[in-house]
């Protein structure tokens, strides 16, 4: 359970994924559409109770959007410079509302894809 389960599921889907620290799972991701289509990024996730509870919002490297530190709406609202897991990441405060029992990494990846659906 937790980050190890998330790591195992990402790797089983063919993602280049690794444990950054005990608190974060990182993986390489190519943005599939929108303003950043085709850009290769790293996503770091903290999911200590996965799959019971989804990861908190994603940490994105490199910085793609301006740091707003709260308020506002997607895509520009709620972008934080929390320096986790390193300075190169920015935190996108995007909770997965509606997560239910039985969901897995496929559901979370589908959610991640929606976060890039803007121009």
Cβ proximity of 62 and 88 under 8 Å: yes
**pLDDT tops 90 at residue 114:** yes
* Mean pLDDT, the chain, whole residue set: 96
Sign of the alpha-carbon dihedral angle for 61, 64, 70, 72: negative
**pLDDT tops 90 at residue 113:** yes
Mean pLDDT score, 37-43: 98
Could you tell me what percent of the chain has a pLDDT over 70?
100
Q: Residue 30 class from Cβ within 10 Å (0-12 exposed, 13-18 middle, 19+ buried)?
A: exposed
**pLDDT tops 90 at residue 21:** no
Mean pLDDT score, 73-92: 95
**pLDDT tops 90 at residue 70:** no
Residues 39 and 64: their CA atoms lie apart, in Å, by: 10
Cβ proximity of 63 and 39 under 8 Å: no
pLDDT of residue 71: 83
């Amino acid at each position: 359970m937790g980050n190890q389960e998330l790591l195992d599921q990402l790797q089983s889907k063919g993602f280049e994924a690794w444990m950054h620290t005990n608190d974060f799972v990182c993986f390489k991701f190519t943005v599939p559409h929108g303003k950043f289509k085709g850009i290769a990024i790293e996503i770091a996730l903290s999911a200590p109770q996965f799959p019971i509870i989804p990861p908190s919002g994603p940490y994105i490297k490199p910085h793609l959007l301006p740091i707003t530190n709260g308020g506002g709406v997607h895509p520009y609202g709620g972008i934080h410079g929390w320096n986790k897991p390193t300075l190169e990441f920015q935190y996108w405060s995007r909770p997965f509302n509606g997560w239910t029992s039985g969901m897995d990494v496929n559901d979370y990846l589908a959610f991640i894809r929606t976060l890039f659906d803007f121009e």
